[in-house]
Structure formats: structure tokens, C-alpha cells
Amino acid sequence: MAQRDRRLKPNILVTGTPGTGKTSTCSLLADATGLTHLNVGDLVKLKSLHDGWDDELECFILNEDLLIDEMEDMVKGGGTIVDYHSCDIFPERWFDAIVVLQTDNGVLYERLTNRGYTGAKLQNNMECEIFQVLLEEARESYPQELVRALPSNTIEDMSNNVEILSDWGYTLVVISNSIRNRFNLQYFWSLLRPA
């Protein structure tokens, strides 16, 4: 297992297919917790951390090395909510919690078409959600106990998720540090679980 950095405030990665509600959820979570919301897509555009525009996929071609270098100092002290539609590009040690937002097909289809997505872009994103690509990616890239999938269909889901994550991130920073300190993770889970 990769060694995570020690920090007092958690870093939370919120990921999911475009349109599942990452930015809306992160913004509310930042308001609720005082953590800093980092929208990676915006950062890539602002700092030109890309190798140009992909006409076919209609998005910037991410330069991963530039992005990781740019973000390293931002996440170092903890307290950052990272919002991005991919998760396997980041170092495992950065995060205490990885959240995958999920949306039912019909709901997501409506959100994406409302945004003007059509053709290959719409189809690729719908397939990404149907095949749970982000959840697989998260489970392959981070320890299972740090990864959690949450539904994001309704406003009620969103406020539930903000409440869950406000508590969960802080709990996990304790666990994360305890892993680093070689305490017994199972012992911590047993304390957290209701009898």
C-alpha cells in the first residue's frame, strides 16, 4: 500500500461521469465544511495544463505531468475537495476519501442533453455511467475502504451526500493516518460501526 501524506484536514476526491453532480456537490460541501473546492477542469483551462483541443472528443487533451506538478502543493496540507471526471491519474497518497457520484440513466441522459451534448460525446458519457467506469477506476486505484459510491439523482440525494461526506472525510483522515502509523485498521472500523 502506498504511504499517504499526514494531514489534519482531509483531501476528498469527488469523481463521476460528467453531469452526475460533482461540481454542485463539491460547492455545497465546501460551504458546509470550509474545505477548498478545486475544480480540476477549470484549473486545466486556466493554467493551460493541456496539449491542445481534441475535436473528436470535444475536450482539452490533458497533460497529466503538468497537472500533477501544479496540484502537488495545493493538496499538500489537506483540506481540499478535488472535483474531476477521472481518478486514476492522481497519486494514491493524496486522498483520504474517494467518492464516486452515480446517476440513473434516464436522469443523466436528460441532464446531458439539456447541456447540448449529442452524438459521440453523449453516447460516450452514457456508456461511461452504464458500465460504472469511474467506480471500477476508483476501486482499482485506491484502497477499497476509502472508496464510496453515492447516488446523485435528486436534490435530496445531494444534501444527504454533503452531510455524509462532511463526517466521513474527517473520520477517514484519522484512519488514513493510522494506516500510515501501522495501527490496526480493522480496530478503527470496529469503533466506528454501530453495535
Contact positions vs ligand ATP (CB under 6 A): 16, 18-24, 41, 85, 111, 152-155, 157-158
Using Cβ positions, the residue closest to ligand ATP within the complex turns out to be: 21
Q: Report the alpha-carbon distance of residue 62 to residue 44 in Å, rounded.
A: 7
20 annotated to a ligand binding site:
no
Q: How far is the CB of 141 from ligand ATP (least distance, A)?
A: 18
DSSP codes, 57-69? TTEEEE-HHHHHH
169 annotated to a ligand binding site:
no
118 annotated to a ligand binding site:
no
Q: How far is the CB of 111 from ligand ATP (least distance, A)?
A: 4
79 annotated to a ligand binding site:
no
16 or 169: whose CB is closer to ligand ATP?
16
26 or 172: whose CB is closer to ligand ATP?
26
Distances, alpha carbon 117 to alpha carbons 42, 70, 108, 144, in Å = 19, 30, 11, 33
Q: How far is the CB of 132 from ligand ATP (least distance, A)?
A: 15
DSSP codes, 83-142? E-S--TTS-GGG-SEEEEEE--HHHHHHHHHHTT--HHHHHHHHHHHHTTHHHHHHHHHS
Residues at the annotated binding site for ATP?
19, 21-24, 115
